[in-house]
Amino acid sequence: MKVYIRQSMLLITFIILQWANAQPYLPVGPEKALLEHKEGIIKAFQKNGQGLQPLAKGQANFDALYYKLQLEIHYDPNYIRGKVTGRFLVLNVATDTLRLDFDDALTVKDVQDAAASFQHNDQTLTLILKRTYQPGEIIEVTVVYSGLPDRGGFGYFKFGYMPDDSPHVWTLSEPYGAKFWWPCKDTPTDKPDSVDIIVSVPPGQLVASNGVLKEVLHLDSVSVFTWQERYPIATYLVSLAAGNYEHFQEYYHYAPADSMLLDYYVYPGYMDIAKDAFKDMADYLDALSYYFGPYPFLDEKYGQVQFGWGGGMEHQTMTSIGVIHPNYWNLYVHELGHQWFGDAVTCASWQEIWLNEGFATYSEALYAQWAGYGSRPPGMEAYHAYMGAIRYAGERTVFVEDTTYVSDIFHKVVYYKGAWILHMLRHIMGDENFFTALRQYVSDPRWVYGSVRTSDFQSVCEDISGYDLSAFFDQWLYYPYYPVYQFEWNVENTTVEQAEVTFNITQKQETTVYQMPLDITFYLLNGSDTTLVVQNYLREQTYTFYLKDIPLTAKLDKDEWILKQTEEKLPDNIPQAIKIRLYYPNPFNGKQTIITENWSNQRSKLQIYDLLGRLVRELTPVTHSRNLEFFKWDGRNERGENTASGIYIVRPILETSPDKQVGKSVKVVYLR
């Protein structure tokens, strides 16, 4: 899911912008701020005192196989009637009860099939079975219920109005909201293999849901829509939206002879802008299929349905979208990315929601690389610019320690720093290995269409790269903030052939010492640059390099592959004198290069005297680096005349004190 602060800066998945008018074009500009959906989640949970609950007692003993949802939607007054059938496999021990998650606001009217009676309290529906079921047996139960869901106004199952004032409903069940409108085992760790969703609505309304629309019956008083999802699906991804929608379809041609349905449901009056806003959907699919492998639900569809909250929610095969405008390509890419990461492979625990949100956020940067970003053409410059725009690391950790508070689950550190983890991993592994790992991870038969943990992704990356990535994942998932690198460097010895450089790196952060490869780039006197990679794993480390020319400047991680802070340190005891470090060739005929070391805040000059003490020439630097200044002397005097062959004295001074020598003189030999 995702939320926005600005048109160009994306935030999280879910947004809480209620539709206030019926204008088909949302007024959007670069500075247009949208409220974050996560704030709505936080407030709703605080208001209702709702926390995230573990599995009900005994739920680990059965596996959900199938659900059939039959819902009647009624308006004025608003309520639903439901009939849900579920099949469950008994796993470990014999049982005569079955516990489902189900909110107390809805009234259970009857239980059928294997259920004899029930108890309903504390958001748990306990079904007392007609007999004892042994491990390996399948239990089928049916629950009949009615009432008004969403008593707290949060939006799990929301009655509302379209811009034309016609009634409609929508659902949004992440993280644990399915139980607020249908009885189920509400956890991402247990996906049913398939779900049927049968919805009855007043005539004239349409229903959008997961999977494939198998049948529509138009009866005298109702229309009945039957949707079938035949891929495993997490309960929080089961969704529906119903109302007086305008509907259009397109096709994504993923092969010369094959195509997939693109299915769109929008509010009345939004058809034109929706066609414009969604016109690049095939390109989004091409891009993400290139990076991640084929779209995981090609046998069904990809759709988008407009609902009453801003932003979007990645309901499987039918994303719910609140903002329809061409500027919001990154929202559409984010939600599409979830079809791979979040839907096809789903985080097994909300503590590891970065496996959903970090990956979907990273999808946006990859599309920027594919299509360009702002004024930047497609390529790495656009990619890096996008990653720079979502740079964030705060006091929280990517791994969510306490899932009691929904605000922690949907904190932006999960989205942004989660995406940066992938960005850094890409540089460490290299493009070929990294994208091979992504494609293998999302299609691995051990967990595709199932639930995953970070250890699963890590194992794939290690197998592909051959690297031990334990330290990498540990430091970036379980510690807040990022490394703070302080570096200092110095040219120790220089000759015509090479320069010896010492480079010291100190990690200044208070948390763990990070173990990372670091790129150090030197920009040399001859106009070239060279990048060296060092392994940095201590609080303080010193490296020695031998370069083919004298470095003018140095940068740590110039391409911003690491989430970090850097600062360059000056020597603790700054020399007051100017030191002539190198002069070559000597003797010379033509031009001589003279290099000085100057740590003062003033530019230096060189005065050249003959052996009789007469001033021959005063030189100013032709270029300089942090502490080095470079001079050229061609053997001429101040009038531009060639001087006589002989020995000359080179004396360093400061611009503001021409009569005061501030360093030792050297002798040079000029030969005509």
pLDDT tens digits for 240-259? 999 999 999 999 999 999 99
Tell whether the model's pLDDT for residue 151 goes beyond 90: no
pLDDT band, residue 577 (cuts 50/70/90): confident
- State how far the Cα of 13 lies from the Cα of 15, in Å rounded to an integer: 7
Predicted pLDDT of residue 600? 82
Predicted pLDDT of residue 44? 47
- State how far the Cα of 457 lies from the Cα of 423, in Å rounded to an integer: 15
pLDDT tens digits for range 76-92: 999 999 999 999 999 99
Tell whether the model's pLDDT for residue 210 goes beyond 60: yes
Per-residue pLDDT, averaged over 323-334, amounts to: 95
Which two tokens mark 288?
């993400």
Q: Is the peptide bond before 203 cis (omega within 30 degrees of 0)?
A: no
Q: Cβ–Cβ contacts within 10 Å for residue 407, how many? A: 15
Quote the Cα angle for 47-49-54, to 5°. Answer: 140
Is the alpha carbon torsion for 106, 109, 114, 115 positive or negative? positive
Q: Which of 332, 457, 265 is nearest to 1 (CA)?
A: 332
Average pLDDT of the chain to the nearest whole number? 90
Q: Which of 180, 193, 173 is nearest to 235 (CA)?
A: 173
- State how far the Cα of 313 lies from the Cα of 338, in Å rounded to an integer: 9
Tell whether the model's pLDDT for residue 180 goes beyond 70: yes
Q: Cβ–Cβ contacts within 10 Å for residue 316, how many? A: 29
Supply the CATH classification number for the domain 59-242: 2.60.40.1730
Alpha helices (H) along 448-559: 454-465, 470-478
pLDDT tens digits for range 102-124: 999 999 999 999 999 999 999 99
**Per CATH, is 2-44+248-478 categorized as 1.10.10.10?**
no
Side-chain-side CA neighbours of 167 within 13 Å: the count stands at 12
Q: Give how far the C-alpha of residue 471 lies from the chain's centroid of Cα atoms, to the nearest Å.
A: 20
Strand order in the sheet with 579-584: 579-584, 592-597, 628-633, 623-624
Q: Are 121 and 147 in contact (CB under 8 A)?
A: no
pTM more than 0.85: yes
pLDDT tens digits for range 7-60: 333 333 333 233 333 333 333 332 232 234 444 444 444 444 444 456 777 899
- CATH 2.60.40.1930 maps onto the chain at 579-670
Distances (CA, A) of 338 to 262, 422, 442: 16, 15, 11
Predicted pLDDT of residue 30? 26
- State how far the Cα of 96 lies from the Cα of 91, in Å rounded to an integer: 13
Per-residue pLDDT, averaged over 158-168, amounts to: 96
Which two tokens mark 175?
């993280």
Q: Which helix (H) or strand (E) covers residue 313, if one does?
A: strand 312-313
Paired with 667 in beta bridges are 649
pLDDT band, residue 623 (cuts 50/70/90): confident
Predicted pLDDT of residue 2? 55
**Per residue, what are the HEC states of 36-68?**
CHHHHHHHHHHHHCCCCCCCCCCHHHEEEEEEE
Per-residue pLDDT, averaged over 178-194, amounts to: 97
Supply the CATH classification number for the domain 484-568: 2.60.40.1840
- CATH 2.60.40.1730 maps onto the chain at 59-242
Report the DSSP pairing between strands 62-74 and 194-201.
parallel
Predicted pLDDT of residue 576? 72
In this structure, which amino acid lies at residue 177?
G
What ranges make up the beta strands (E) of 469-510?
A: 484-494, 499-507
- The burial of 359, by beta-carbon neighbours within 10 Å (0-12 exposed, 13-18 middle, 19 or more buried), is given as buried
Q: What is the end-to-end Cα distance of the chain in Å, rounded?
A: 76
Supply the CATH classification number for the domain 579-670: 2.60.40.1930
Alpha helices (H) along 466-500: 470-478
Q: Which helix (H) or strand (E) covers residue 97, if one does?
A: strand 95-101
Q: Are 91 and 64 in contact (CB under 8 A)?
A: no
Phi-psi region of 557 (alpha: psi -120 to 50; beta: other; left: phi over 0): left
Q: Give how far the C-alpha of residue 68 lies from the chain's centroid of Cα atoms, to the nearest Å.
A: 35
Report DSSP state, residue 180: G
- CATH 1.10.390.10 maps onto the chain at 2-44+248-478
Q: Are 330 and 363 in contact (CB under 8 A)?
A: no
Tell whether the model's pLDDT for residue 407 goes beyond 80: no
**CB proximity list for 444: less than 8 A, separation 6 or greater:** 456, 460
Secondary structure (DSSP) of 548-594? SS-EEEEEESTT--S--EEEEPPPSS--SS-EEEEEESSSBSS-EEE
Predicted pLDDT of residue 189? 94
- State how far the Cα of 284 lies from the Cα of 278, in Å rounded to an integer: 10
Q: Which residue has the higher pLDDT, 468 or 55?
A: 468
- State how far the Cα of 511 lies from the Cα of 476, in Å rounded to an integer: 11
In this structure, which amino acid lies at residue 267?
Y
pLDDT band, residue 625 (cuts 50/70/90): confident
Which two tokens mark 558?
């110039």
Report DSSP state, residue 151: T
